[in-house]
Amino acid sequence: MEYLIIVVAVLAVLAIVTGAVFFVRPRRRGPGRAAPPAPPAPGQAGPAEASGATAVAPTLPPVTGPAGPPTVEEAPTPLAGRMVRLRGRLARSQSAFGAVLLGLLSRDALDDRAWEEVEDTLLAADLGVGPSRQLVDELRTQVKVEGAQGTEAVRALLRADLVNAIGADQDRALHIGPHGDRPAVVLVVGVNGTGKTTACGKLARALIGEGRSVLLGAADTFRAAAADQLQTWGQRVGARVVRSDREGADPASVAFEAVREGIEERVDTVIVDTAGRLHTKAGLMDELGKIKRVIEKRATVDEVLLVLDATTGQNGLRQARVFAEAVDITGIILTKLDGTAKGGIVVAVQRELGVPVKLVGLGEGPDDLAPFDPGTFVDAILGG
Ligand code: GDP
């Protein structure tokens, strides 16, 4: 009997210890979820409420909703060299276009019909009428003058002409250097669904990876989900988000508050996400103009980046034009280039807006945003 009591007691103790270990052990984070960033210093929230905007202290992210980005744990890869790393994505989406071109140009006899087919291929890749014709004219002359024959010779000519059409020496750098004690400000604009909020999150992550501090402003106040999505990104990448607690609040006051707090906290960069409802052009002009003006009361708007979805083709270009008329764009973020074979849109959009593509989106992952490099892009198209 005594023996039985001892056995039961030992088993009971074991059960208690096992249970305690199970419950006390900290819950493992899901694979790849970032640790929460440090809470803001006391007193940071400031008079946000006065302007209808509130500073949101980072807390543990709500576990992924369908709109959330993939979870992240590793440090971001450096921005430089990302396009080479993501070349495979480009090759998958663009190489069919390159293969057709090279196939046509490698024919023994390049007659009018063949050149027309080359032009049609360029047009089908969304290069645009003017640039396609110009490229064919240049190539045609070069092939004739240089007597280029064979795949390699033609490939070299085509590579040079495509890089030239894209613009090898355009300034594609993000100008977000510090202004004394003022942060650099990046305004991100574009139609909803193009990947604006995702681009803000990816950019914040990349800049933080380079050692800069970033504050995000959720000036898309029309959709609570947009601010929530930005907040999720902020929490994952370690950037505080300034947002309104009121749907439909004045976007300009949220942008102003983000910049004000950015100055107060001496952050390096403030990235402001804006609403992209395609209402009237006048409405868009009013809204974006006001956002820019109020920011400029306190800081300089260094970059106005237009986000354009590469898969939307000519329709996307039309929308881009409306934004460009509403606000001075300084660069383009071309997203979803991994999901279209129509890489010619790079040339078309630059022509249309007169500003360079600075960044490209090559997937939904947190590091799938790369500084655009024409040479790497063309090499991926031509499989070189
Ligand atoms: P917003 O409404 O403009 O803010 O767009 P979101 O940032 O919510 O993005 C819309 C959808 O596009 C999301 O599902 C993103 O994951 C997706 N997305 C954004 N950028 C890219 C990209 O470069 N490639 C791919 N394949 N998907 C992207």
Q: Which domains does the chain have, with CATH numbers?
A: 82-166 (1.20.120.140), 184-329 (3.40.50.300)
**pTM of this prediction?**
0.82
Lowest mean pLDDT across 7-16, 120-129, 231-240? 7-16
Q: What pLDDT is attached to residue 7?
A: 54
Q: Whose CA is nearest to atom 6 of ligand 1?
A: 195
At 241, list the tokens: 């988000």
User: pLDDT class for 42, splitting at 50, 70, 90?
Assistant: very low
Residue 30's pLDDT band, with cuts at 50, 70 and 90, is: very low
Task: Reduce the secondary structure of 43-63 to three states and give it as a string.
Answer: CCCHHHHHHCEEEECCCCCCC
Secondary structure of residue 216 in the 3-state scheme: strand
Residue of the CA atom closest to atom 20 of ligand 1 = 195
Per-residue pLDDT tens over the stretch 225-266? 999 999 999 999 999 999 998 888 999 999 999 999 999 999
Q: What spacing in Å lies between the alpha carbon of 2 and ligand 1's midpoint?
A: 69
What local confidence, expressed as pLDDT, does residue 314 receive? 86
CA distance 190 to 201: 15
Q: Which residue has the higher pLDDT, 282 or 188?
A: 188
| Most ligand 1 atoms within 8 A of CB, residue of 231, 364, 372 to mutate | 364
pLDDT above 80 for 27:
no
Q: What's the whole-number mean pLDDT along residues 361-372?
A: 96
In order of 63, 275, 292, the CA distances from 255 in angstroms are 27, 12, 9
Cα angle 58, 46, 218; round to 5 = 50
Q: What are phi and psi of 373, to 5 degrees?
A: -130, 110
Whether 345 has a pLDDT exceeding 80, the answer reads: yes
Tell me which of 52-56, 295-299, 338-342 is least confident: 52-56
12 pLDDT higher than 50:
yes
Q: Which protein residues are within 6 Å of ligand 1, measured from CB?
A: 192-198, 229, 276, 335-336, 338-339, 361-364, 368
